Structure 1
């Protein structure tokens, strides 16, 4: 049973980038409408800062992968996550995972702040496929950590700890420093996100916790012309 997300110290359980033909590839920062049974959410996708991740997400949109999926993991003081399970709590098949591009996105200014959209994944940083989450609070601890120049890195600080003369590759591949790739932001419909955030949760199907007790269905995700 897979539940994409981080399963480390904070106990979080949080694709092949495809060139998109025609109009799908023409807009620098395309927008999509997430139609749910609680209302619509509009998201601007940051293709200029996370191009591979946006291309991957749009391919799933084009394939109608998200139609009939649910928000299956909701934590009121953290995030709402969906895009992987259908209404029977069956995980949908996906394409191959994408390479993590969170550090480049972070360097370009994208952070896990309230209202931003990021890719969910397993403990493997290069495992993101279709699942995504919307931050409902600022989650700075999910941001990818930028590694200073140098090899070895002469000085590195992380959460109050200081290390010196560390091989650069050791820091680049440290599992706690990858973070989560932000690729979009909610531009309309945060009231709907708040409804999702505040829904009562419990067990659902094979999922033991954090599942909305009244299903919150993604009826469709469509590109806004």
Structure 2
């Protein structure tokens, strides 16, 4: 089966209603196909201009707060952080120059997680809290309709939600069976609940349940983190002090690759690949924080996070060791992996 496609393009014609500013001329000349990408880039250009102007004129501390708590990643290089971080910033910075942008970034983060209703609520809050802000008030002609960027983005979110609801298999795996087993990964930062696809990957699921029941994972550490990938765990050698061995254990048993019809979407539990082509290491696993369809057909998805995804993101975004290994600076211990009744 071919990997799912995630693109739905809309042709956008952009022209300001009043005399064109430098920004308007830029956007009119370099218009972008695709409503979502256009709005992100248009908002980004305004964001950077506003941020730099404010820094130079008033050295507003609110921008420094945004810089400290967000990362620049991907294209366009928009400040990113988990939705809960952006929501906290938006509340803390209400009434400052960075306040409306924090709301906009919150909506952007929620949209990235396909939380459409929450993203719309963030835009509604932006509209209510800052009715005179350019994102809310400045009007553009978009596809023959005169509206602000916030209004256009709100409409775009509604359209995307409707389209995805008509094509669910392109954006997420099927829900696990109603009687699917669940496990709880307990860490010092909080618990992560995972529901397992026993009907689709029975050998991998049973192996994981057997290891959990035996206490195999207790005391092991999450040995590799990556904000653009996720977290890796399940290596028994992480109980040892020899860091060079971390990520090399767990190969005493291997499982054969199985085509399950499940894809590597954000939030899945997937088996680590073995040394031979299309085999899984018996104990090691990854939990993804981003879609990684380059792994489809290479690794076996056998579960999905159904609780505690905020803990997974916190783990993945933690500071890494300076040696380039991807090992967390302060490794987190799995105190237990237990079956949920």
TM-score category, normalised to shorter length: 0.5 to 0.7
Greater percentage in helix: 2
- What does residue 337 of structure 2 align with? 221
Structure 1 regions of 5+ residues with no counterpart? 1-26, 145-178
Q: Which runs of 4+ in 1 moved over 3 A?
A: 89-95
Task: Tell me, yes or no, if structure 1 residue 143 matches structure 2 residue 290.
Answer: no
Indicate conservation of the 8 Å contact 2:250/2:283, yes or no. Answer: no
The 5 Å alignment of 1:41-190 reads 41-84=192-235, 85-87=237-239, 88=241, 89=243, 95-101=252-258, 103=259, 105-106=260-261, 110-124=262-276, 125-144=278-297, 179-190=298-309
C-alpha separation in 1, matches of 2:270 and 2:293: 12
C-alpha separation in 1, matches of 2:279 and 2:253: 10
C-alpha separation in 2, matches of 1:60 and 1:72: 18
Distance 1:203 1:52, change over 3 A: farther
Give aligned pairs, total. 157
C-alpha separation in 2, matches of 1:130 and 1:138: 22
Task: Tell me, yes or no, if structure 1 residue 202 matches structure 2 residue 321.
Answer: yes
Indicate conservation of the 8 Å contact 2:271/2:280, yes or no. Answer: no
Distance 1:127 1:186, change over 3 A: closer
Instruction: Compare CA radii of gyration and give the structure with the larger one.
Output: 2
Greater percentage in strand: 1
Aligned-CA RMSD value: 1.9
> 1:1-59 deviations in whole A, cap 9, x for unaligned?
xxxxxxxxxxxxxxxxxxxxxxxxxx951000000111100000110110011011111
TM-score by length of 1: 0.65
TM-score by length of 2: 0.44
Structure 1 position 203, deviation (Å): 5.2
The higher-RCO structure (CA 8 Å, 6+ apart) is 1
Structure 2 regions of 5+ residues with no counterpart? 1-177
Of residues 33-42 and 195-204 in structure 1, the stretch that sits farther from structure 2 once superposed is 195-204
Structure 1 position 86, deviation (Å): 2.4
Structure 1 position 96, deviation (Å): 2.0
Distance 1:123 1:197, change over 3 A: same
Of residues 123-132 and 40-49 in structure 1, the stretch that sits farther from structure 2 once superposed is 123-132
Distance 1:58 1:76, change over 3 A: same
